Amino acid sequence: MPISNSNLFISAMQFRAEMTFKKVRDLLEMEKIPVILLKGPHLGATVYDSPKERLYADLDILVKPRDFHTAAEILRTNNFQPFAFDQYDLEVQRDFKHWEYRSPSGVIVELHRWLSGHDRYPLDVSALFERAEPFLFWKTPARGLGREDLLLHLCLHMGTSYFHVIERKHVLDIALHINKNPIAWPVFLQRVTKAGAKAVAYYSLQAARRLDGAEVPQEVMQQLRPGYFRRFWLERHIDAGNFPMFRFPEWPIDKAKKNLLLPLMDRPGQWGNFLQRMVVVKFRIVWRKIKKAGSRWIV
């Protein structure tokens, strides 16, 4: 890649990200908390011709749910400042999949405990760590998701954004990963079925096939394909042959969520679990407001 101002900027940005990851990894591993580095850096190192070809705006780092609060406290006490917490109510944030921090050098770090919002597509995170694979983030040793787990995560990233707030690179990520790294399709199908994410995977893989030539066997697509009536509703909103995939890009994300949140979950049980969690969150919000109002009245 020839030297240019653009390449120098990318190199500087990615070097800063590498140093931030190394600091986070070292801080957490001192407390015996293992980490997995997600998405951009992992993809840049393993499926793109050069890491500089895969740009990213932040670092996504996964820890086991049991380690999440300890890891968050370690970051906070080492000058990683909470970032964007005020975008959500406190109770929503407490139950969300990741918390965001700004590193001392200005890099945004997303600390994850789950790979979907409020864990609505449940995965065995401990098993993800057992299957994690080593790679080099430039010169820094790191671990990323195993092949089938990485593909599932890339699909979930698109689906949990309702195919709305995604970028063109996210489709290309899937195609390059599939075409470069042989996927054990029966294993992938088993894991995506267990997560209740077959519809999400279907439209993600269909886009990668149509737009970037991903080599996905037809029998895999047939096993992922939603039923007729569900597909009729989903395809009123999703077009896997074009980008943007979401047919109404002018809609706010909340409207997309309203139309696709439940239909993109495979099993009614997922709906019940998610809605139950949201009821608990809403109750806590209301209860906190009642207590706050009561304390003012007493004073």
Instruction: Please tell me whether residues 1 and 117 are part of one structural domain.
Output: yes
| Residue 3 binned pLDDT confidence (cut-offs 50, 70, 90) | very low
The pLDDT value recorded for residue 296 is: 63
Q: What is the pLDDT of residues 202-229, one digit of tens each?
A: 999 999 999 999 999 999 999 999 999 9
Domain span including residue 229: 146-262
Query: Does 177 fall in a domain?
Result: yes
Please compute the mean of the pLDDT values over residues 249-262 and round it to a whole number. Answer: 96
pLDDT mean across residues, the chain: 93
Please answer whether residues 53 and 43 qualify as being in contact, where contact means their C-beta atoms are separated by less than 8 angstroms: no
Instruction: Please tell me whether residues 38 and 150 are part of one structural domain.
Output: no
- Domain CATH code at residue 126: 3.30.460
Instruction: Please tell me whether residues 26 and 93 are part of one structural domain.
Output: yes
Domain count, the chain: 2
Chosen domain end from 145, 164, 186: 145
The pLDDT value recorded for residue 260 is: 97
Instruction: Please tell me whether residues 139 and 154 are part of one structural domain.
Output: no
* Helix (H), strand (E) at residue 37: strand 36-38
The pLDDT value recorded for residue 1 is: 45
Please compute the mean of the pLDDT values over residues 109-130 and round it to a whole number. Answer: 95
Instruction: Please tell me whether residues 28 and 80 are part of one structural domain.
Output: yes
Query: Does 272 fall in a domain?
Result: no
Q: Is the model's pLDDT at 250 over the cut of 60?
A: yes
The pLDDT value recorded for residue 298 is: 58
Please answer whether residues 208 and 166 qualify as being in contact, where contact means their C-beta atoms are separated by less than 8 angstroms: no
**At a CB cut-off of 8 Å and minimum separation 6, what does 37 contact?**
21, 59, 60, 61, 62, 137, 142, 143, 144
pTM above 0.85, yes or no: yes
Q: What is the pLDDT of residues 13-49, one digit of tens each?
A: 888 999 999 999 999 999 999 999 999 999 999 999 9
Instruction: Please tell me whether residues 69 and 206 are part of one structural domain.
Output: no
> Rounded to an integer, what distance in angstroms lies between the CA atom of residue 224 and that of residue 61?
29
Q: What is the pLDDT of residues 282-298, one digit of tens each?
A: 888 888 888 777 766 65
